[in-house]
Structure 1
Amino acid sequence: MIRNMCENVFFFCFFFQKRGITRPEEKYKYNSLTRTLSRLWERIRHCNEELIHLLNHVILELATYHKVSEIHFENLKWSRHSRKSKAGKYLAFCQTHWFFSQVQEAVKLQTFLHRIRFKRVNAAYTSKTCSECDEHGRVSGKFFTCDNTKDHRGGRVIELQSDLNAARNIALA
């Protein structure tokens, strides 16, 4: 729905720049679309703020319940806004609405207030490194496999979902 409205607004912008606004009903339709579009983006922004608040609350409740002294997060500096020529139009558009780094900033502020350390961890190769033996394993699709049985507990081959393996590596960093 938002994409269609954006396309309509861009169409009318192009149309009016090329031809100029001649009829009042065209101007009314354009203004109506831009108002509706801005309301929808405001709703999305409000939903993002609510999600940030809820995630922040849950993360800190879990940390205080388990008496955690340090919280680790994946380093998301790549997600900050950069110029369109560097990142491409799609990525630049997504970056303006990216809220994961906002979640991190909110958690960082609350950890400071609760005297919990906050650490950003480089996420390079976290899904390809075994969380038990620190050796490089194989990633096929969404699954990670480590065949180094001599360093594993129980001497077994480890097969995990690669995101879970990456989360364990970030937590252990």
Structure 2
Amino acid sequence: MSVPLRPGEHQRRILESGRHKEAELVLRKGRWFFNLVVESHDAKPVAFGPVMGVDVGENNLAAHSLGKVFGGEHLRDRRDRHLALRRRLQSNGSPSAKQKLRQVSGKEMRRVKHTNHETSKAIVQAAIKAGVAKITMEDLTHIRARIKAGKRVRGRLHRWAWRQLQTFVEYKARAAGIAVEYVNPAYTSQMCSCCGHLGKRSKHRFVCTHCGLRAHSDLNASRNLARIGGTAVPPRAAVNTPDVGSVDMGNHVCISQ
């Protein structure tokens, strides 16, 4: 069959932006969709600008050093509900239960992917608006092997799509000319982003007993990542850290001791 392609203005701009690659024809809920991959070149690299740190997690999907936290409570609740449903279907074992299980699994993966796309797009848009030249994220290689928690928590963390979110941020950033760097995450959640001393973290709250900083723990970690990316100094457990200048904390500026 020969079917004419009638793209809208938005689709036409995408088609003209690069080279056409593989395509796929998909039937979903009685409707046909034509998915065409277009390979476009990355934008000219941003030469100068600040560094943005992005911390990913499970309680909160992500937090960036410009002051934004992306909550993950709703997605985590929906995934827990899907997990309970999958267990019931698996224990049933009937052909209809297996068919329903495939539908549920596919729906869950699509929801997570959609959420990660939305979150990564918001992060990169914030970076573009702020003139960011580089985004620094945690190197989560072998993170699942390092997880130490109860069986239920381990199961939930093993299902979390951390790397997918980071990959989406990376390719969207590179398309906008923003460099991406992965660094060792050691002590980024325990170190004060203001003075560099080790502080105390309790769930979403971080308190530094040295300089008195009180901040959201994920925001504090993202600012540590930004500092590491800006100074090329790896995190360490030393009590005293070298002077790395000022770190913008939103309402005030902290100077390293």
Q: Same-fold call, TM > 0.5?
A: yes
User: Taking structure 1 as the reference length, what is the TM-score of the superposition?
Assistant: 0.68
Tell me the equivalent position of 2:179: 117
Q: Residues of 2 paired with 1:141 and 1:53: CA distance? A: 26
Instruction: Tell me by how many angstroms 1:76 deviates.
Output: 2.1
Verify the 8 A CA contact 1:127 1:165 in the aligned structure 2: yes
Q: Residues of 2 paired with 1:89 and 1:148: CA distance? A: 36
Tell me the equivalent position of 1:22: none
Amino acid in the other structure paired with 1:37: L
Instruction: Tell me by how many angstroms 1:162 deviates.
Output: 2.4
Verify the 8 A CA contact 1:108 1:118 in the aligned structure 2: yes
Instruction: Tell me by how many angstroms 1:4 deviates.
Output: 4.5
1:3-27 deviation digits (Å, cap 9, x = unpaired): 45433443344xxxxxxxxxxxxxx
| Cα distance change of structure 1 residues 131 and 92 upon mapping to structure 2, 3 Å threshold | closer
More strand by share: 2
Tell me the equivalent position of 1:11: 91
1:37-61 deviation digits (Å, cap 9, x = unpaired): 1111111111112112212221221
Alignment of 1:5-154 (within 5 A): 5-13=85-93, 30-79=94-143, 94=156, 97-140=159-202, 142-149=204-211
More helix by share: 1
- Matched residue of 1:77: which SS? coil
Tell me the equivalent position of 2:225: 170
1:70-125 deviation digits (Å, cap 9, x = unpaired): 01112222346xx9xxx997678556643221111122122222221101122221
What value does the CA root-mean-square deviation take over the aligned residues? 2.9
| Cα distance change of structure 1 residues 141 and 134 upon mapping to structure 2, 3 Å threshold | same
Instruction: Tell me by how many angstroms 1:169 deviates.
Output: 0.8
Q: Residues of 2 paired with 1:65 and 1:142: CA distance? A: 27
Q: Residues of 1 paired with 2:104 and 2:126: CA distance? A: 33
**Which of these two proteins has the greater Rg computed from alpha carbons?**
1
Instruction: Tell me by how many angstroms 1:147 deviates.
Output: 3.2
User: Taking structure 2 as the reference length, what is the TM-score of the superposition?
Assistant: 0.48
Q: Residues of 1 paired with 2:202 and 2:153: CA distance? A: 26
Bigger RCO (CA 8 Å, 6+ sep)? 2
- 5+ residue gaps, structure 1, are 14-29, 150-156
Tell me the equivalent position of 1:16: none
Tell me the equivalent position of 2:238: none
| Cα distance change of structure 1 residues 137 and 94 upon mapping to structure 2, 3 Å threshold | closer
Identity of matched residues, %: 27
